[in-house]
Structure 1
């Protein structure tokens, strides 16, 4: 049974129905219940989902969405595989590794268009590059999350192999990661934008040593099962249309106050320090803006999927190329909601 924190669109849906004059019992009964799982409790990291809830975009599509927070990309994929959720936000590395084991997961929307991970070290550390971590310990938030695959890629780029040239240590995030640095258990940490911000806020000043070429490796995005795409593509399109609307709304500076209010409603604890939450939102938001916007938001560059596969093979997460890499992702829904005919 998943340990979970649940948010629902019930209030937002009721508000949207009232605004649009559709608040009838019959309409409410037609809502399709959908569960979305995210790899941490952060509303900011899934900001387009919470904006779509708050602005009523899911309700407009006839969707009643529950959000469950679980621990890491591996757990997200397990929830999808077991049928406990229809959509999730894992990293591309864990998705490819799962497909290598014969599991049918498909990326449908590229949310973190630029890498939202980086290998960080304390500001006063003598470590200047991944090579300097030879023989040292790299901390991670989870044992099988997207941050692990990202760090492994970075380290393999310097010719190092996990277990032989360096070791991973799962220490958790937030407070536990701060403690691990303070105690000297870890020399570096594979951190998301949020992790780095929290470390700095808690008195562990960190700097990034990730080589710039790794920024092209997009991070966590929206995923569903191949079976759902085949059996109910309309549902997938509705979900993608709503999160795309939430994404676009959130990127408009004119909507900033409303966005921050939706995020605070989604996770009040995360927004207790309003200034920190706003700064974190800005950092996360920037990572979701593609360098090339010609195909709109959510588009997945096929060439980067090729690079992801190559680095996973080099790191040992895949034994060889997948039979059909293109089956791991689809741009159909993102292009459609962006109004493209490509």
Structure 2
């Protein structure tokens, strides 16, 4: 796995092996690792805010953040014991569980879909049906954007390999080049990806049918044995993460939030106007349409829809024996209690 490591205050280097359960005895703090599927600090903004505001420190946790390539790699790191928490998509997590990976989603970060299929502004394609026989670019081969796009295309009655093709092209500059070179006709992008393309002068528009907005995106995951054997860690993480999320939703804290994000990824902070606009776009996707259960809550019905789409698209051979084991709302409830929700 190719990794990019972000160092925050009170962090120390941790070897790839033996990450779980290590402690910094000099500081009486516990070192843990969080893996994210892209280098963007904005996409994982509650983590960087919770680091910067000291919420993790209050729970006795030093959080090291590593960026690796896509949800598949995130789940691999979790299952290999190289990370405690990660931010994979629901589709890859269900697929991993079908292969025996006992990962569990514990907090719904992208409560509204943070993916969409985009085409160039001047494209003749006006709706998904127009992609029949076309090539759709993706950032990774097995990331959440792939499962989302496959879901959309299946809903339009199209099958991968027969009616359309995926092509892994990367994100940012490589995606722009793929459009310009005519390698792809559309791109399955996150909210951040689309904003970056537009910033780079590759104007794109979203053609995703509106009904797919209910398909939540990437969330916080850990392994089931971590929940069973180290519940205090999961509860402490959940409290700090939820506090970071709630802090970032309050516009009174905006300057502090953007400063924390720039510390997490200085490149994103170079263009303040773009950083601010991108943060607004990403943040908006984390606010549930129904706040009755607070932040981070998972709707069971949409998990079922995710699984149905994966089965229909051939991504998994059949339903999981226990879909409910793939997610839990108990730690979102603990997090909401910590912020008074």
TM-score (normalised: structure 1):
0.94
Asked if the contact 1:112/1:221 (under 8 Å) is kept, the reply is: yes
Matches within 5 A, 1:112-191: 112-191=110-189
User: What secondary structure is seen at the aligned counterpart in 1 of 2:337?
Assistant: coil
Moved over 6 A (4+): none
User: What secondary structure is seen at the aligned counterpart in 2 of 1:318?
Assistant: coil
2:289 and 2:279 mapped to 1: Cα distance? 19
Partner of residue 76 from structure 2, selected from 75, 78, 86: 78
For residues 99-125 of structure 1, give each alpha carbon's deviation from its aligned partner in whole angstroms, at most 9, with x where no partner exists: 011110000000000000000001111
| Residue matched to 1:4 | 3
TM-score (normalised: structure 2):
0.94
| Residue matched to 2:90 | 92
Pairwise CA distance, 1:10: 2.9
Asked if the contact 1:12/1:55 (under 8 Å) is kept, the reply is: no
Pairwise CA distance, 1:338: 1.3
| Residue matched to 1:272 | 270
Pairwise CA distance, 1:179: 0.4
Pairwise CA distance, 1:27: 7.8
In structure 2, the CA distance between the partners of 1:306 and 1:324, relative to structure 1 (3 Å rule), is same
For structure 2, the residue ranges without an aligned partner over 5 or more in a row are 13-23
**Number of aligned positions between the proteins:** 329
| Residue matched to 2:54 | 56
1:74 and 1:102 mapped to 2: Cα distance? 14
Partner of residue 108 from structure 2, selected from 107, 110, 114: 110
2:3 and 2:208 mapped to 1: Cα distance? 32
In structure 2, the CA distance between the partners of 1:28 and 1:337, relative to structure 1 (3 Å rule), is farther
1:184 and 1:27 mapped to 2: Cα distance? 55
For structure 1, the residue ranges without an aligned partner over 5 or more in a row are 14-25
Asked if the contact 1:108/1:331 (under 8 Å) is kept, the reply is: yes
| Residue matched to 2:256 | 258
Asked if the contact 1:76/1:90 (under 8 Å) is kept, the reply is: yes
Pairwise CA distance, 1:254: 0.2
User: What secondary structure is seen at the aligned counterpart in 1 of 2:267?
Assistant: helix
Pairwise CA distance, 1:55: 0.1
1:133 and 1:179 mapped to 2: Cα distance? 19
Pairwise CA distance, 1:5: 2.0
Asked if the contact 1:114/1:289 (under 8 Å) is kept, the reply is: yes
For residues 113-148 of structure 1, give each alpha carbon's deviation from its aligned partner in whole angstroms, at most 9, with x where no partner exists: 000000000111111111110000000000000000
For residues 161-198 of structure 1, give each alpha carbon's deviation from its aligned partner in whole angstroms, at most 9, with x where no partner exists: 00110000000000000000011100000010111001
| Residue matched to 2:245 | 247
2:2 and 2:63 mapped to 1: Cα distance? 18
1:96 and 1:258 mapped to 2: Cα distance? 36
| Residue matched to 2:330 | 332
| Residue matched to 1:16 | none
Matches within 5 A, 1:190-209: 190-209=188-207
Asked if the contact 2:50/2:240 (under 8 Å) is kept, the reply is: yes
| Residue matched to 1:17 | none
Asked if the contact 1:119/1:209 (under 8 Å) is kept, the reply is: yes
User: What secondary structure is seen at the aligned counterpart in 2 of 1:154?
Assistant: helix
1:182 and 1:122 mapped to 2: Cα distance? 10
